[in-house]
Amino acid sequence: MEKMTLTKIIPYHSTRNFISAQITMEGKLILIETDQQELDYFERPVKKANWTIRIIDEENTDTIEIKNIAFIPTEVDMFSDGTILLVQSRCEKKGTVIERNARIYNPNGQLISAFTLGDGIEQMQIDETDTIWVGYFDEGIFGNFGWEEPIGSDGVIAFDKSGEKLWGARKFSIIDSYALNVTSSTHVQFYYYDDFKIVTLNEKKKVKSSYRIEGETSIQQFAFDENGLIGLALGNELIRYRKKGRTYAQKDKIQLVDNFGKRIIGPVFLRGKYIYANGKDGIYKKIISPLA
C-alpha cells in the first residue's frame, strides 16, 4: 500500500451535518454544512433550512450563513469576484414551472441571482473565466423529475455565469458523468460511463487526450501527480493508477497519513494539484506536482 503524507493546516471539528465540499481554482476548500440531520432531495416543496458555507484558506476560515431557504445545496464553488455558486442536484419541472436550482450569493449571504442548470447534477466546477462546468448522472441525461427534454442530455456542459449554455459533450454519448477535474479553462477533464475514459479538453474544447481506466472504475474524483493517476472511488477509497499505453491501470491503494504517520480518516477531496482531507481533528492538505 502506498502512503501519502498530508499536513494539518487547521484544527477543525463541526457538530453540523457535512453535505459536500469543493476545492476552488485557487486551492481553497469550501464545505457545505447544515443543522438538518435528514434531507429528502425529492420532497416538494423543499423544506426551509439553514446552511453554513465554510471557506478554508490555509489557517484562515471565512463563514457564510444562509438562513431559512427552501433549497438543498449539494455543490458549491467560487467565482473570480468572490461570490459563491450553490447548486441543488435535483430540479423539478412541473409543466411550465421549473425550479431555479443554481443560486449566486455574495460573501454576506445575500442572494444575487438564480437560474436553472437542470436536473441530475453529479458535479460542478468553475474555471478562472467564470465558466460553469456541470456533469450529470443518468437521470439528468435521459430525463426524470418531469423532464422529457433534459438540460443535461449532453452529459457534460459548460455554462456562462448567467446559466447560458456555451458547449456540450454530446459527441461522447455519455450515459453518466462520474467526475470532473477542471484545473483551468485550457485544461478541463471529465470521466464518464460507459467508456470509462478520462478526456482532457484544450482551450478550444477539443480533445487533447483520452485514457481508459482499467481496474476499479467507480472514480468520483481524480487528480494526476508525477506517479500517475490518483482516483477516489466509492467508499472514500484512494487508488493509484499507472499509465500503460492509452490506459491507466489500477496499481495499489493509497493511505493518507499525517506528519507523524498516523492514518487520516475522513472525507477526501481532489482537484488539480490539491488534495484535502477532512479528518477527525482537522483539515489536512497536500500540493502535488500534476503530471497531466
pLDDT in tens, 115-134: 999 999 999 999 999 999 99
Q: How confident is the model at residue 281 (pLDDT cuts 50, 70, 90)?
A: very high
> In the prediction, which pLDDT does 291 show?
65
Instruction: Give me the percent of the chain exceeding a pLDDT of 90.
Output: 97
The domain segmentation of the chain, as residue ranges, is 2-287
Q: How far apart are CA 265 and CA 231, in angstroms?
A: 17
139 closest CA partner among 128, 148, 130:
148
pTM of the model: 0.96
Query: In degrees to the nearest 10, what's the CA dihedral of 252, 256, 259, 262?
Result: -100
Tens digit of pLDDT for each residue in 54-64? 999 999 999 99
What kind of fold does domain 2-287 have according to CATH?
Neuraminidase (2.120.10)
pLDDT of residue 37: 87
- What are the grid coordinates assigned to 290, written together? 500534476
Cα–Cα distance measured from residue 18 to residue 174, given in angstroms and rounded to the nearest whole number: 30
